[in-house]
Amino acid sequence: MNKSSWIDKKGFRIAAPIVFGILFVLFWQFGGLHWLLHLRAYDFPLPTQIIDVFATQYAVLWKHTVITATEALVGLIIGSVLGFGVAVLASWFPQWGYGGLALMSAINAIPTTAMAPIMNNWFGRGMGSKIAVVIFFTMAAMAINTYRGLTVLPPFSLDLMKSYNATKKEIFFSLRLPNCVPSIFTALKVTTTTSMLSAIIAEFFSSYAGLGFRVNSVLQEGKNADGWAYIACSAIVGIIMYMIVSVVERRVTKWHASQR
Amino acid sequence: MKRKLGRNTMKKAAAFLLGVTLIMGMSGCGVTREEDGTSAAPTESSSEAGDASEASSEDGSASKDGLIPVTFQSKWIPQAQFMGYYVALDKGYYEEEGLDVTILPGGSDINVPSVVESGTAQIGTTNLYNVLSYQEQGYPLTTIGQVMQDSPFVFVCHKDQVSSIADLKGKTLGVWTGGNDAPVRALLTKNGMDPDMDATLASQGTTIDGFLDGTFAGYSAMTYNELLLAYEAGYTDDDLYIINMEQEDCGMLADCIFVNSDWLKDNRETAEKFMRATIKGWAYACENTKEAADIVYSYMDKSSADYDHQVKSAEEVAKLVLPEGMDASQICTIPADKVQNSIDIALQYGIITKDTDLNTVYDTSIMDDITSGSTAE
Amino acid sequence: MEKKPVNRKIVIAVWVIGVFLVWEFAAFAIRHILPIDTPDTKLPYFHGVVITFFQNFMDLAASSWVTFINAGRGFLIGTAIGCVIAFLMSWSKAIEKIAFPYLITFQMIPVLGLAPIVYKLVGGGDEAKVAISALISFFPVAVNLLDGFHSVDVQRRELLYSYATKKPITYLKLMIPSALPQLFTGMKIAAPRTITAAILIEMMGSTAGIGVKILYALYYNGAGSLLFWSCILAAAILGMLSSVVVSLVERIVIPWEKAMLKKGEA
């Protein structure tokens, strides 16, 4: 399984997506995407049009990106901590904790578009309500994944611990916690993307500023180049967040099978 | 050994279950259509009022021979705002003209110009200033009728916070996004205020909660809906300060009927038939607002919608479609001077960036044919 | 030392009652104890919501069913796409390294941006709903399944390698069965998302479905109205139901997982 070919080289990891990306952008610029999806010029902007928007409106783009990114990040952190807490409690009290997880699933099941108006009424129409929405959805994903990590242990590992007469606390810190670290990262990978998206969808409903606010506005006016410039901003932030999580994951879970 | 057998059987069971689910899913397709029909509308002609234009074209050939299928995209959920179309549908005016019309309800964030341009619907209704914006981007759209002759836009404020236009300064104001904030911007600028610096314009979404809980000092409203909602929430004229955009010369023309220009070239006759039937529907609705409200109400979700609200709404809409002094034969005609005014405001407040020639915005030939030819019934 | 396991149903009952009490108290508090204005727009009484829910039960159920079917089709397609993507990425490291950033980028595009393009490709109505649902839901499945493939015990992989097992067989006998639990985790996260997606699209314009009811309730009665909350309750139940359905399927497909879970929990 250790084919140390050029594919595994670090350079390839960074270069390949970039090369692919450049090829894709060229394909797009010369009308490839429009031809492929039967789109007209006004349906979808060309890369040069999007770059043009960046060039002329970077201050506005930056302002709104910062707002939404802050909402997403703060919500992500708080939500992850809370979700983790719920999962830990659920694993400590396995019989009663189950209800907490069911509650998480229930919250996860509420559509964002329904959460947004409620949060707006509770926390006003500024950043607070958007952060609240992000918290709710991040909490659920983190709780579900972490719970799995805490309870699905390698076979016989629990028996081993018991044979050492380990206390519940010791089992927790020496076995369950390290075991759930990969699950935490799996959850983070999903929640980093959903946090940005949740914040944006929450902004669609009622807001003062932010990427969602702008995307909604400009797309309704048919200004697709502007709209996609904002979408590009959100995508870039999402990728950066994801990359940070990936890098941290690589450092922290060197021992796990997925890292070999 | 036992475990191995068990696993294989389980895999077969899973495959079976998956297959069943798939079949259920696909047969659910048929269930959806029927359900759509019964929950949406009681009348025969709209039992195909599902979400797919395929439905109308499929059935168009079989059960309604000779009728041309037309899909019409509305910009919101069925309500008195669109009573003309529903009346025309319900009373069979479209059928008389040889059309099998399906009205697709709109919703939040629906992009009507995009739907019409893509061919999912042939004809649509949205605000005129919305169409202007798309036309500038290059979308091949043409307006063929102007339903609302006056602007329905009002700005409703808490009297204790705002009792004159100047009081708007420094307040948080509710607006709709997508260019629908232009009338408010126009109002502020006309009165010496900078819309970006002297007030906070927040998007109010689809509820008036922001106004009710005091977050907004004032909010955007249509005379036929949000304003009535405020009254129904218990506010009286003593509590409200209402700014009428039309009177302040900041109103822009709203609901119009538009089509894809390319489609129009090949289907002019169909468009004309649609307009004729639609005008008949609107004329009837404006004369008989209560009956029109009844008809529209039958298409609505009754657990949320209030019948009395629709009756009042219908009266307000009638005032906009058939204003005082206008003859019923002029319904849906395109008022060139008002269109020009809308273009000017749109240009000034950034909805469009270049001036537009009136004649590229609309095509009056259809309305001209109708008004010069037959008499309104 | 083994405690007698408490009946799951009792646990849920206790939790539901707990939530009910907290909610009722909160609703009471904001009206009578705390100085909050317009409490009606913020939190209705739980009992009010429940009553309204049952009053409109048939209506809500019918709408929910429509949404469920549409979402279900989207879910099946989305899961299929997710599996294929995860499989491809696991098979070839090259594909994984190249495709992953773009997958994430794709997830970041809000529905509003995708909708016009999807409409152009598949036409309007039900097909668009299904397509967009699928697009929104494939990501958790792909990510989780890929992680599942990656997490397969290295020793086992090396064992099969030492037997000179061909790659397809390795996948069939080892990778896929081992990754199934992760696949189902992904599906459990994706299922409510698909429902949310279907509701989102219904709110953009549709004749039936719970999303339409939510839009009506919101538009005419605001976010504090009992009907709105009843609709949300229905939507939440729908989402949970979808997760439960996936769990049921999981129990049939990988019965050994349950055994492992029990061991880990004790």
What are the tens digits of pLDDT across the range A177-193?
888 888 888 888 878 87
Which has more confidence, B345 or A13?
A: B345
The amino acid that residue B213 corresponds to is D
Selecting from B137, B179, B203 the residue whose C-beta is nearest the C-beta of A213 gives B203
Task: Please report the pLDDT score of residue B87 as a whole number.
Answer: 93
- CATH tag, B153-244: 3.40.190.10
Chains touching B (3+ CB pairs < 8 Å) = A, C
Task: Please report the pLDDT score of residue A60 as a whole number.
Answer: 87
Task: Please report the pLDDT score of residue B16 as a whole number.
Answer: 55
What are the pLDDT digits (tens) for A84-123?
988 888 888 777 777 777 778 778 778 887 888 888 888 8
User: Mind spelling out the 3-state secondary structure of chain C?
Assistant: CCCCCCCHHHHHHHHHHHHHHHHHHHHHHHHHHCCCCCHHHCCCCHHHHHHHHHHCHHHHHHHHHHHHHHHHHHHHHHHHHHHHHHHHHHHCHHHHHHHHHHHHHHHCCCHHHHHHHHHHHHCCHHHHHHHHHHHHHHHHHHHHHHHHHHCCCHHHHHHHHHCCCCHHHHHHHHHHHHHHHHHHHHHHHHHHHHHHHHHHHHHCCCCCCHHHHHHHHHHHHCCCCHHHHHHHHHHHHHHHHHHHHHHHHHHHHCHHHHHHHHHHHC
Q: Is this prediction's ipTM beyond 0.90?
A: no
Please determine, for residue C264, whether its predicted confidence score (pLDDT) is greater than 50.
no
Compute the average pLDDT of residues C162-183.
Answer: 81
Q: What percent of chain A has pLDDT over 90?
A: 10
Residue C64 confidence class, pLDDT cut points 50, 70, 90: very high
Compute the average pLDDT of residues C218-225.
Answer: 82
What is the Cα–Cα distance from C10 to C31, expressed in whole angstroms?
32
Please determine, for residue C51, whether its predicted confidence score (pLDDT) is greater than 80.
yes
Task: Please report the pLDDT score of residue B122 as a whole number.
Answer: 92
DSSP for B162-197, written as a single string: -SSGGGGTT-EEEE-STTTTHHHHHHHHHTT--TTT
Alpha-carbon dihedral sign for residues B163, B164, B165, B166: negative
pLDDT in tens, chain B (377 residues): 444 445 555 565 555 556 555 555 454 443 333 333 333 333 333 333 333 333 333 333 334 578 899 999 998 989 999 999 999 999 999 999 999 999 999 888 788 888 888 888 899 999 988 888 888 888 899 999 999 998 899 999 998 888 888 888 888 899 888 778 888 888 888 888 888 888 888 888 888 888 888 888 999 999 998 999 888 888 888 889 999 988 888 888 889 999 999 999 999 999 999 999 999 999 999 999 999 999 999 998 888 888 999 999 999 999 999 988 888 888 888 888 888 888 888 888 777 888 888 788 888 888 888 888 654 43
Please determine, for residue C150, whether its predicted confidence score (pLDDT) is greater than 80.
yes
Asked if residues B243 and B165 have their Cβ atoms less than 8 Å apart, the reply is yes
- Tell me how close the Cα of A42 comes to any Cα of chain B, in angstroms: 6
Yes or no, beta carbons of B32 and C212 under 8 Å apart: no
- CATH tag, B44-149+253-372: 3.40.190.10
Comparing CA positions, the residue from B290, B297, B314, B125 lying closest to residue B223 is B314
Residue C189 confidence class, pLDDT cut points 50, 70, 90: confident
What is the Cα–Cα distance from B64 to B45, expressed in whole angstroms?
9
Selecting from A106, A151, A155 the residue whose C-beta is nearest the C-beta of C265 gives A151
Selecting from B51, B53, B306 the residue whose C-beta is nearest the C-beta of C206 gives B51
Compute the average pLDDT of residues C237-262.
Answer: 77
Yes or no, beta carbons of A206 and B114 under 8 Å apart: no
Helix axes B365-372, B268-287, angle to 10 degrees: 60
What is the Cα–Cα distance from B39 to B59, expressed in whole angstroms?
19
Please determine, for residue C104, whether its predicted confidence score (pLDDT) is greater than 80.
no
The verdict on C266 touching A (C-beta cutoff 8 Å) is yes
Yes or no, beta carbons of A205 and B137 under 8 Å apart: no
Asked if residues B339 and B362 have their Cβ atoms less than 8 Å apart, the reply is yes
Please determine, for residue C116, whether its predicted confidence score (pLDDT) is greater than 80.
no
Which has more confidence, B311 or A36?
A: B311
What is the Cα–Cα distance from C92 to C95, expressed in whole angstroms?
5
Task: Please report the pLDDT score of residue B1 as a whole number.
Answer: 42
Compute the average pLDDT of residues C197-213.
Answer: 85
Enumerate residues 6+ apart whose C-beta is below 8 A from A153. Answer: A175, A176, A179, C263, C264
Residues 299-318 of B with CB under 8 A from C: 300-301, 303-306, 309
What are the pLDDT digits (tens) for B152-197?
999 999 988 888 888 888 888 998 887 788 888 888 888 888 888 8
Asked if residues C198 and B207 have their Cβ atoms less than 8 Å apart, the reply is no
For C208, the closest chain B residue by CA position comes to: B36
Q: Compute CA distances B111 → A217, B42, B237, B316, C134, whole Å.
A: 11, 27, 35, 25, 21
Enumerate the domain spans of chain B: 44-149+253-372, 153-244
Compute the average pLDDT of residues A8-34.
Answer: 79
Selecting from B51, B208, B213 the residue whose C-beta is nearest the C-beta of C126 gives B51
- A:B CB pairs within 8 Å: 75
Which has more confidence, C80 or C107?
A: C80
The amino acid that residue C53 corresponds to is F
The DSSP 8-state label assigned to residue A2 in this structure reads -
Yes or no, beta carbons of B177 and A213 under 8 Å apart: yes
The amino acid that residue C183 corresponds to is L
Q: What homologous superfamily does CATH list for C44-265? A: MetI-like (1.10.3720.10)
Asked if residues A75 and A195 have their Cβ atoms less than 8 Å apart, the reply is yes
Compute the average pLDDT of residues C247-260.
Answer: 75
Interface test with A, best of C40, C263, C265 (most A CBs within 10 A): C265
What is the Cα–Cα distance from B189 to B292, expressed in whole angstroms?
39
Query: Residues of B with CB below 8 A from A116's CB?
Result: 205
For B114, the closest chain C residue by CA position comes to: C116
Compute the average pLDDT of residues A155-178.
Answer: 81
The verdict on C55 touching A (C-beta cutoff 8 Å) is no
Yes or no, beta carbons of C143 and A190 under 8 Å apart: yes
The verdict on C101 touching A (C-beta cutoff 8 Å) is yes
Q: Compute CA distances B38 → B49, B238, C59, whole Å.
A: 9, 44, 12
- Tell me how close the Cα of A245 comes to any Cα of chain B, in angstroms: 33
Work out whether strand B218-222 and strand B99-104 pair parallel, antiparallel, or are unpaired: unpaired
For residue B69, the cross-strand partners are B100
Task: Please report the pLDDT score of residue B11 as a whole number.
Answer: 60
Yes or no, beta carbons of A44 and C117 under 8 Å apart: yes
Work out whether strand B123-127 and strand B141-146 pair parallel, antiparallel, or are unpaired: unpaired
Q: Which residue segments constitute the domains of chain A, with CATH numbers given?
A: 60-259 (1.10.3720.10)
Task: Please report the pLDDT score of residue B13 as a whole number.
Answer: 52
Task: Please report the pLDDT score of residue A123 as a whole number.
Answer: 84
For A116, the closest chain B residue by CA position comes to: B205
Alpha-carbon dihedral sign for residues C116, C118, C121, C125: negative
Enumerate the domain spans of chain C: 1-35, 44-265
Asked if residues A164 and A201 have their Cβ atoms less than 8 Å apart, the reply is no
